[in-house]
Amino acid sequence: MGRPSGPNASRADAQRVPTQREGLAEPLSLPPDGAEEDLAARLRERAALSPEFWSFSGRSRREGGHGIFAYPAMMVPQLQGALLEDVQAVDPTVSTVLDPFMGSGTVMLESARRGLSFHGTDINPLAVLLATVKSHIYDPELLAKVRQRIAVRVIEDESHEIIVNFTNRDKWFRDDVAIDLSKLKRAISVERPRVVRQAFWVALAETIRLVSNSRTSTVKLHSYRPEEIQARQLNAIDTFLRISASQIEQLEDQAVVLAQGLDMNPSLSITCTVADARSAARSKYRATADILMTSPPYGDNVTTVTYGQHSYLPLQWIDSTDVPGMRQELLEYTRSIDSISLGGKLKGSLDWADELRVKSAAFAQCLDQLDGHPRNAQTRMVAFIRDLDESLDAIVSRLRSNSWMFWTLGERKISGVRVPTVAIVRDLLAARGARHVETLERKIPGGSKRMAARNASVETMNSESVLVMRGPCDTHCDSRS
């Protein structure tokens, strides 16, 4: 794709930043000696000048494409951007970023903004749909015309047929809402090409989040009371038109961001794929990434952030052929996606405890603290760490020698015992030859991060850490680098 001169430079329906699955050429030389110390000093200096710098309180904005959908527990764009700029300053050879838990693509857009290519995966098809839309340069004038066509079709559609059917549909949608959503689905489905439909499916997904009978105050599916459902003033069509208009403004800003990245790096490439972080990289890709920037789940999804439940209702209405990697079994029940995520399978997890003890002293200490608590507490802790540990093999295999790692991590409680996730991940990476650079502490803007439930095993979080590591060196790597 040639470089656009602005968001309206091309009259094509949409442009995708070129994908490049085989990665870029190896850097010409290793980073200079002392790069780790230089990076640590930069990170500390930011905090010294402003003690609350890494919290980004009041400075976290969802703009430039980041605000097209309210995906749960999104990363702070400005935080990830500052980290990328600091690592670029100490290591100008970096060119490619990997995020194996990419969610809706926050790291992707911040990487592209700085001319860095991006490879991302997520196990949730809705997340990959969001990231896919964020990877395109859209013409806002064209989108406005499509929006108008959709509005006309909906007005002319006199059908009262509800064209989506799934278990408990009537629990989650009033009939009048389901009829209007069916009209919108029919109106979007006839648009061409696919990338344009995908943009409006995202607008429909956000509409569904607001007009379904599930409370928006929690990421877990939780229905309003019957009397509340009947009293709600809802108009799905008006909501969609309002959201799609706002989305077009976001995508116009997004086009500027992507064009800026292409100006900086004409070879900029983006790849977004549905994949399990535990196995996606082992045979599909070469080691191409210079930077790992990611935020894995903070525990099993069922009791922390239920990304799958949050996605369940929107995915029922979007044409499955337009959702990357969509499989019908992911919608069999509300917890299908969450059950295949890290820590979703408990059976046999305790068999891995001894191996994990050897790799991490922090893990061993926490497991001992859970001794005497209900057996399920140890099982859930081991299941999640086992799956996270397995994902590290696949992730490290995609990183170049001496790569940079940024892990945004939170620490949950199980049966009142705090799981030291930061120390455990540090131990597990060190066991693979990685080196610690710095650990940043930050308060979560707004005071807390909503979890799936409030009970003895999980609570809201009000702080996170960014664990900064240097990846393993190959045999030719200077250990001082």
CB contact burial 216-237 (16+ within 10 A = b; e otherwise): eebbbbeeeeeeebeeeebebb
Could you tell me the CA-to-CA distances from 480 to 140, 396, 440, 475 in Å, in that order? 49, 20, 22, 13
DSSP percent split of the chain into helix, strand, coil, nearest 5: 45, 15, 40
Task: Note the pLDDT tens digit of each residue in 318-376.
Answer: 999 999 999 999 999 999 999 999 999 999 999 999 999 999 999 999 999 999 998 79
User: Quick one: what percent of the chain has pLDDT higher than 90?
Assistant: 74
Q: Is pLDDT above 90 for 479?
A: no
Rounded to whole angstroms, the Cα distance separating 405 from 98 reads 9
363, amino acid identity: F
Distance of CA 290 to the CA centre of its chain: 19
Q: How many CB atoms lie within 10 A of CB 124?
A: 26
In a 13 Å sphere around the CA of 407, the CA atoms on its Cβ side amount to 28
At 443, the pLDDT band (50, 70, 90 cuts) reads: confident
Q: Band of the pLDDT at 20, cuts 50, 70, 90?
A: very low
Does residue 63 have a pLDDT over 80? no
Instruction: Say what the pLDDT of residue 279 is.
Output: 81
Residue 12 has pLDDT above 50, yes or no: no
Q: 406 forms bridges with which residues in the sheet?
A: 293, 468
pTM metric for this prediction: 0.90
Burial class (CB in 10 A: 0-12, 13-18, 19+), 430: middle
**Dist. CA 3–CA 263, nearest whole Å:** 7
- For 266-300, how does the pLDDT look when each residue is reduced to its tens digit (9 = 90+)? 999 999 999 999 985 454 567 789 999 999 999 99
Yes or no: say if 302 and 201 are a contact pair by the CB < 8 Å rule: no
pLDDT, tens digit (0-9, with 9 covering 90-100), for 113-167: 999 999 999 999 999 999 999 999 999 999 999 999 999 999 999 999 999 999 9
**Residues paired with 405 in a beta bridge:** 292, 469
Domain extents in the chain:
14-138+249-337
Query: The domain 14-138+249-337: what is its CATH number?
Result: 3.40.50
Residue with the bigger pLDDT between 373 and 73: it is 373
Residues 327 and 135 sit within 8 Å (Cβ to Cβ): no
Strand 399-409 with 413-414, pairing = unpaired
Of residues 118, 126, 106, the one with CA closest to residue 17: 118
- Distance from the first to the final alpha carbon of the chain: 36
Q: Which amino acid is at 364?
A: A
Q: What does DSSP say about strands 463-470 and 435-443: parallel, antiparallel, or unpaired?
A: antiparallel
Q: Which helix (H) or strand (E) holds 436?
A: strand 435-443
- Give the integer Cα–Cα distance in Å for 251 and 448: 29
CA 348 → CA 343, 353, 369, 379, distances in Å?
12, 10, 20, 9
Bridge partners of 449?
A: 461
